[in-house]
A and B are shown apart, each in its own frame.
Chain A
Amino acid sequence: MGSNKELLLAHASMEHVSLSHSVNIMLTPQFYTLIKEPLPVKYLYQAKKIAPSLFEGLLEEGRSYEYLVFKEENSWAFIAYDVDKITEFLGTKGIKPEQVSKLFFAQQSLTSFSDPVLLGKKEALVVLDDTVVVVPQAALGEETNPLTFNDSFTPKTGVTLQGAYGSLLSMKQASALAVAFTFFAGMFFVEGWRYGNNSKAADEEMQVLLEEYPSLQSKMQRENISAKYKTIDAAERKKREVVKSLSMMIFKGVTLTSFTLNEKGFKVQFSCSDAKVAKRLNELAKKEKLNASKIAGGNDIQIEGTL
């Protein structure tokens, strides 16, 4: 079933209704034009394409028509309907467009019309030659047993009332907004793409360096080389700093007696001419944050430390 909603049969002589909920509407042939053609087409989309040409000259000019196409047993059924006309009619009967969930056409429920369905007091819906038509009730036989129209007549598929009802935006406004948004989207995409490319340009300097030093192309190799030389650099700088600091401590009255430096540490001994010089040397060592000690029984100062 197309929907679980209540199905109303809309016909020209229907009474005014008051609805508080949305409903499905089934239209009688009074609101559509039907053509049945045994066309040699296989798919629905092919049949839909030729629908407008089938109705050429049959429909009222200057009106806008929509088309519904479906397959019947041996032929294709083409229905042309005027949405504006239907909307207008429903409006006069108290049915607002937004209250219409789906529109169905009586022809879609051909098999359900096994007996006539009465339309008001004068007309009835009957099936003649596999087509649902409106006939005067006077034409029905006396022993006719009319059917009660109910939700069981609801076909599987229906159509929606198209238009701007219930919409905050008209099609024109929506199109304008969509164009503007799409334009900005395009701009943002292009900008983003260009930023992405700029990033590639920044890599070029790195590429030049890699080409210049092919032996450093591997990151792991670079890290190994870096670790190796950074260790050597740090240790050797430390050794040289120590020697420079110690050489600054040689002034008048101070003589270098011995000096030993290896990979682990250093040890130096200075001979001072008197206690005053020894004291000054000691202060200098402290200033350089070196561990100085006076050798007992003289004015010699020994400084040692680790690297």
Chain B
Amino acid sequence: MNLKRYQNELVALLAFLLMLGAFLYKNGQISSQAEDAATTKQAVSDFKEIVALKKIWADKKTSKKVEKLKELIPASKVTWSKKSKKVTAVYEGLTSKELNKLVTKILNLAVEIRQLDIQKTGSSYHVEFKCKW
């Protein structure tokens, strides 16, 4: 086949192929942009979740907040032991009201509960609590 004979068609065809290539490029960009946007959105959401989790479970104020478990109950009833980021507390002779207050406080603290023992002795309660953060 003599290509020169069809040079007009070839010129139009080449321009058409250029247009087709550009169209495919544009479509590729659109779909990759949508993909990127979804990936970025997910990454941002994951990032925010990590930040939120870190804020809860690595809160620098937790140490101070844990101290309130000691102050919540009269000192005579509390045996307190704190080492680094670990606390072992023993509460003796708690009334049901004091027990409720203590358990509610423990549940609202962002600490890892390692042990929580409650024993009823007569009308009072004996509590042993171990946690870390």
A293 close to B (CB within 8 Å): no
Contact B47 A209 (CB under 8 A): yes
Nearest CB in chain B: distance from A244 CB, A: 7
Mask, A206-246, CB within 8 Å of B = 1, is 10011001001000001001100110110110011001100
Chain A interface main SS type: helix
Partner of A199, one of B25, B27, B33, B58: B33
Residue B84, interface by CB 8 Å: no
User: Counting chain A CB atoms within 10 Å of each CB, which of B18, B27, B110 scores highest?
Assistant: B18
Q: A206-B44, A259-B117 are in contact. Are A167 and B8 (CB under 8 A)?
A: yes
- Residues from 80 to 129 in B contacting A, C-beta threshold 8 Å: 103, 107, 110-120
Contacts of B30 in A (CB 8 A): 192, 195
Whether B15 contacts A236 by the Cβ 8 Å rule is: no
Asked if B77 is at the interface (CB within 8 A of a chain A CB), the reply is no
Q: Mark B30-72, 1 if CB is under 8 A from A, else 0.
A: 1011001100110110111111011011100000000000000
Indicate if the CB atoms of B53 and A205 lie closer than 8 Å. no
- Does A283 belong to the interface (CB within 8 Å)? no
B22 contacts A186, CB within 8 Å?
Answer: yes
CB distance from A304 to the nearest CB of B (A): 14
One of A38-46, A138-146, A174-182 contacting the partner:
A174-182
Segment among A48-56, A122-130, A250-258 that sits at the interface with chain B: A250-258
Taking each of B14, B15, B21, which has the highest tally of chain A beta carbons within 10 Å of its own beta carbon?
A: B15
Bound complex: CA of A239 vs CA of B112, how far in Å?
9
Q: Is the CB of B15 within 8 A of A232?
A: no
- Contact A166 B6, CB 8 Å, known A216-B47, A244-B107, A262-B114: yes
Q: Are B51 and A229 in contact (CB under 8 A)?
A: no
CA distance A167 to B9 in the complex (A): 7
Task: Mark each residue of chain A from 135 to 177: 1 if its CB lies under 8 Å from any CB of chain B, else 0.
Answer: 0000000000000000000000000111011111111011101
Instruction: Tell yes or no: A109 within 8 A of B by CB.
Output: no
> Number of contacting residues on B, CB 8 A?
55
In the complex, the chain B residue whose C-beta lies closest to that of A205 is B44
B103 to chain A, nearest CB (A): 7
Return the chain A residue nearest B114 by Cβ: A263
A192 to B115, CA, bound (A): 60
A184 and B22 within 8 A (CB): yes
B2 within 8 A of A: yes
Cα distance, A223 to B5, chains bound together (Å):
64
Set of chain B residues within 8 Å of A187, measured between Cβ atoms: 22
Q: Which residues of A contact B (CB under 8 A)?
A: 98, 101, 160-162, 164-171, 173-175, 177-182, 184-189, 191-193, 195-196, 198-199, 202-203, 205-206, 209-210, 213, 216, 222, 225-226, 229-230, 232-233, 235-236, 239-240, 243-244, 247, 255-263
Can you list 19 residue pairs at the A/B interface with Cβ under 8 Å? A167-B8, A177-B15, A181-B16, A182-B15, A184-B19, A187-B22, A198-B33, A202-B37, A210-B47, A216-B50, A226-B50, A236-B112, A243-B116, A256-B118, A258-B117, A259-B116, A259-B118, A261-B113, A263-B114
Q: What would 8 more interface pairs be, CB under 8 Å, given A166-B6, A261-B117?
A: A167-B8, A175-B11, A184-B22, A192-B25, A198-B33, A229-B50, A259-B118, A263-B114
